[in-house]
Structure 1
Amino acid sequence: MSGKMTQYRWWVMAFIFVIYTIANADRANIGFALPYIRKEFAMSNTEAGAIISLFFAGYSIGQIPSGFLIRKFGMRSMFSMGMLLTSIFTGLLGFAGNAFHFKALRLLIGLAESPVVVGCTTTINQWFPPKEKGTATGMFLAGSKLGPLIVPPICAWIILTFGWREIFIAFMIPGVLLSVFWYIMVNNKPEESRFVSQKEVEYIHSSENVAMEKKNTEKKSEYKLWWLDKIVRAKKVEPLVNSKQIFRSWDIYGAAMGYFFMVGIVSVLMSWLPSYLVNVKQFAIMKTAFVSASPFAGTVVGNFLGGWVSDRFLNKRRKPLMMVTALSTTIMMYSLVYAPADAYLLALLLFGTGFLLSVGYSAFAVYPMGRTTKEAYPVAWGIVNTGGQLGGTCFPLIVGMILDKFNWDVVFASLAFGSFICLLIVSTIIEPVEDPLEKPHS
């Protein structure tokens, strides 16, 4: 195979897309089952929020350790083990006998899934050249939102045919099979894979060569947005090369804090939206399934488009779309205070919300790739994703506490305020670029 150009990296991307879709379906199915679980175990809104939050608590705790473990033992082994344990713990939810069992298993699912997300982004960083990383990461995160998109209709059918417990047992099976598949098909680096030719390896690393640097210089003349470089504080900076530098970098912490609010809002839509539609809008189960899926249809499209735009039109600038997402999500969250009662209009509004929320969502994962070396990236992404998953931990619980005291209008207004804080924080970090543009002289 050394004599021809292979495209196996895109097969790896397809594997990531499918596996992360299943992983996110494993976490999202709790939202659709929650009204039935609450009925059986007589839970308050706060208790239900705790069950949702415990997954993200375990997930956030596991991010930084997963970065170090992947750096030490390799992505291949840690990814496969994480996916296998995630699936097993998900299946055990179907046998939970009380609320305590649910809480313990949700915590374990979060811990088990931590190496999966770090492994996905580490794989993208190793297997793709810089000019394709935004597109690949957009595809990866589109998979994360395809999971919640397919969950509502599948869960509705399982509940109507069997019961809520069978949801978790059914979702366990594909994850177990895919964990074995990944270990067989994907190596830590492309040069270690029997499916990758030498030409593809050279292409993946070509941007590190002088020839590609010249090509990038020629492309710079096509990029005219000097004013945007001023807004996003584009600068040439030395990449972070070790853990000490990473833990001292405000840029990494700023990205993590911004991601805190974005993941928090997504976790609320994923876990609480079905309850909102059933209890507030009084929708039947199949109509709830349709409307619950609509924001995630928007996120799939938004993630694909956002990664492509940042690579193709923004010359690998990641911060602009991060800021666009934060601002537009502020507006869309507040608009849900006045959400229409009609299911189709509400679905359209939620589709737009999901789309705008996700246009810059993948940029939070790609940003550390440009700020660090490949070897240091797993730790940096572990910090950023820890911030994100702490948002996923806090927001569902806070929503439950708000609902026990107030109503959904207060929830949506609070989410809008959080997104605005995200915009302020993200505006302070540096956009790392090789050669920032300056205002042309007339």
Structure 2
Amino acid sequence: MMKTAGKYKVLLMIWLLQFVNYLDRINLSIAAPTMMRDMKLNPNAFGFVLAAFTFGYAIAQIPGGYLADRFGARCMLIASPILWSIFTGMTGFASTLVALVAVRVLFGASEGLSNGASFKLIGDNFAPHERSAANAAYLSALALGPAFIAPVAVWFLTHTGWQGMFRWLSLPGLAMAVLIWWVIPKRVPTAATHHTNLSTDAPASGLREIVRQPTSWLIFVAYLAFNVAFWAYLGWMPSYLSIARHIDLKALGVAASIPYLFGAAGMIVFGWIGSRSLYRYRCLLIAAIYVCTAISLYVTYNVATSAQSIAGLSASAFFLYGGFGPVWSIVLDLTPENLRGAFSGFVNLGGQVGGFFAPIVVGYAVSATGSFTGGFLFMIAALFVSALCFTLLHAARNGHHRKGISREPA
């Protein structure tokens, strides 16, 4: 088994990579009101710009995971930030809707190449009972990145314009590629083999057998539905505060960062619980988390003041982000060692399918009705679907009579 110091060094590197990843990913949402005004785009058209990222991100998931399994995670974690930094900078040169959509598709594909590699390293270096907490620690960057970038992006936006903001924020990814090349060894020792539902010596073609399992499709659909809510939240939350709650640009940076800090706290809390007291009931824990998210979103839209709305968004983020650690520990439980990258890519493909449609649907609803009501209801419904899938997954994983299902409690 890899020495403790070594595996936490790897965890730190992929955390930093994800942090920088989200610096580049969330800046479009912060710049959205300004870009829509300058490029004369309505919310419906800008929904396609937001969806362009998830389209590229989705198509790269399985190839990126396969390449990580085939050539090693380190290789993908160096190539991916170099490519996405190039396309971050190119976003600042886009002057038409078509050019903007095209560059965001390429940006998304570049980021998607690293996702399976990161989860592969978690699975390789952490035992099953450690993975919920390890994933939560790693994925806390999803919340801390946006919390940090909101005020930074607003500063660049007001001083250099949205074009300059994208060009300057292309630099951290390049620095991250050099750091990973320097710190992560070419060969990372793997943790001792632990019990999973499938043989760890299955051939690479075994991915076809894995995706035939009912549990694989349950978690695929569950993650798809969750990402409808997640990407609608991530893409439209700053615009909601600006358009519906009339928070001005200078205040928007701070206001938009507050919910993400609560999201990071939720990740740590539920990641720890998923590795400790409720390890055996992670699927039910996730279902409860998503129901709480739906309730919080409903409250958010129905409160009277901007301050109350930010409080509601913060509660929503606490639960919305809280499920990430337990979810990905379950994904790794379902996967043999030599297919961790590819199967993680398969599940995340489902997530990005949901993420692709979510901004478009919300953008259309806002343009058609002049209100965010339809968008909020869409997110709430998706969360209930995801909660139902995880409830069914809990029952399936504990049904010993089903062929190929893990006997390890969910």
Structure 1 length-normalised TM = 0.85
Look up the match of 1:198.
Answer: none
Following the alignment from structure 2 to structure 1, what is the Cα–Cα distance between the partners of residues 89 and 119? 26
Following the alignment from structure 2 to structure 1, what is the Cα–Cα distance between the partners of residues 298 and 123? 36
| Equivalent residues of 2:284, 2:390 under 8 A apart | no
The worse-fitting range, judged by mean Cα deviation, of 244-253 and 5-14 is 5-14
The worse-fitting range, judged by mean Cα deviation, of 316-325 and 353-362 is 316-325
Shift of 1:75: 1.0
| Equivalent residues of 1:92, 1:105 under 8 A apart | yes
Following the alignment from structure 1 to structure 2, what is the Cα–Cα distance between the partners of residues 369 and 155? 34
Alpha-carbon spacing, 1:6–1:323, altered in 2? closer, same or farther (3 Å): closer
Look up the match of 2:311.
Answer: 348
| Equivalent residues of 2:197, 2:333 under 8 A apart | no
Structure 1 or 2, whichever has the larger Rg, is 1
Look up the match of 2:268.
Answer: 304
Alpha-carbon spacing, 1:385–1:188, altered in 2? closer, same or farther (3 Å): farther
| Equivalent residues of 1:252, 1:383 under 8 A apart | no
| Equivalent residues of 1:239, 1:370 under 8 A apart | no
Residue type matched to 1:357 in 2? L
Look up the match of 1:268.
Answer: 232
Shift of 1:414: 1.8
Look up the match of 2:162.
Answer: 164
DSSP 3-state at the match of 1:283: coil
One of 231, 251, 255 as aligned partner of 1:287: 251
Alpha-carbon spacing, 1:165–1:339, altered in 2? closer, same or farther (3 Å): farther
Shift of 1:25: 1.5
| CA deviations over 1:184-219 (Å, ceiling 9, x no partner) | 22136533xxxxxxxxx7xx42x74xxxx9xxxxxx
Shift of 1:31: 0.4
- 1:363 aligned to 2:320? no
Residue type matched to 2:69 in 1? R
Residue type matched to 1:140 in 2? Y
Alpha-carbon spacing, 1:436–1:426, altered in 2? closer, same or farther (3 Å): closer
Look up the match of 2:145.
Answer: 147
Following the alignment from structure 2 to structure 1, what is the Cα–Cα distance between the partners of residues 83 and 336? 30
- 1:89 aligned to 2:53? no
Look up the match of 2:385.
Answer: 421
Residue type matched to 1:59 in 2? Y
Following the alignment from structure 2 to structure 1, what is the Cα–Cα distance between the partners of residues 165 and 277? 42
Shift of 1:306: 1.5
| CA deviations over 1:140-181 (Å, ceiling 9, x no partner) | 111122111112101111122221112111211111011121
Alpha-carbon spacing, 1:189–1:329, altered in 2? closer, same or farther (3 Å): farther
Question: In the comparison of the two structures, how many residue pairs are matched?
Answer: 396
| Equivalent residues of 1:126, 1:189 under 8 A apart | no
Following the alignment from structure 1 to structure 2, what is the Cα–Cα distance between the partners of residues 19 and 5? 22
Q: Structure 2, unaligned stretches of length 5 or more?
A: 398-404
The worse-fitting range, judged by mean Cα deviation, of 260-269 and 105-114 is 260-269
Report 1:42-441 matches (<5 A).
42-187=40-185, 189-191=187-189, 204-205=191-192, 208=194, 237-238=197-198, 241=202, 242-315=206-279, 317-343=281-307, 345-406=308-369, 407-429=371-393, 430-431=396-397, 434=407, 436=409
The worse-fitting range, judged by mean Cα deviation, of 371-380 and 53-62 is 371-380
| Equivalent residues of 1:306, 1:358 under 8 A apart | no
Shift of 1:307: 1.5
Following the alignment from structure 1 to structure 2, what is the Cα–Cα distance between the partners of residues 276 and 140? 28
Aligned alpha-carbon RMSD (Å): 2.2
| CA deviations over 1:293-337 (Å, ceiling 9, x no partner) | 122111111111221111111235431222122211221222223
Q: Structure 1, unaligned stretches of length 5 or more?
A: 192-200, 214-235, 438-442
Following the alignment from structure 1 to structure 2, what is the Cα–Cα distance between the partners of residues 40 and 5? 53
Shift of 1:48: 0.3
Following the alignment from structure 1 to structure 2, what is the Cα–Cα distance between the partners of residues 6 and 247? 33
DSSP 3-state at the match of 2:169: helix
| Equivalent residues of 1:71, 1:375 under 8 A apart | yes
Shift of 1:94: 1.1
Shift of 1:238: 4.5
| CA deviations over 1:64-94 (Å, ceiling 9, x no partner) | 1112111212111122101110111101111
Following the alignment from structure 2 to structure 1, what is the Cα–Cα distance between the partners of residues 263 and 280? 21
| CA deviations over 1:393-412 (Å, ceiling 9, x no partner) | 11001101111112212211
Alpha-carbon spacing, 1:402–1:134, altered in 2? closer, same or farther (3 Å): same
Structure 2 length-normalised TM = 0.91
Residue type matched to 2:103 in 1? L
| Equivalent residues of 2:144, 2:264 under 8 A apart | yes
Look up the match of 2:402.
Answer: none
Following the alignment from structure 1 to structure 2, what is the Cα–Cα distance between the partners of residues 103 and 16? 28
Residue type matched to 1:266 in 2? F
Alpha-carbon spacing, 1:184–1:272, altered in 2? closer, same or farther (3 Å): same
| CA deviations over 1:225-264 (Å, ceiling 9, x no partner) | xxxxxxxxxxx95458421221201211211211112222
| Equivalent residues of 1:321, 1:359 under 8 A apart | no
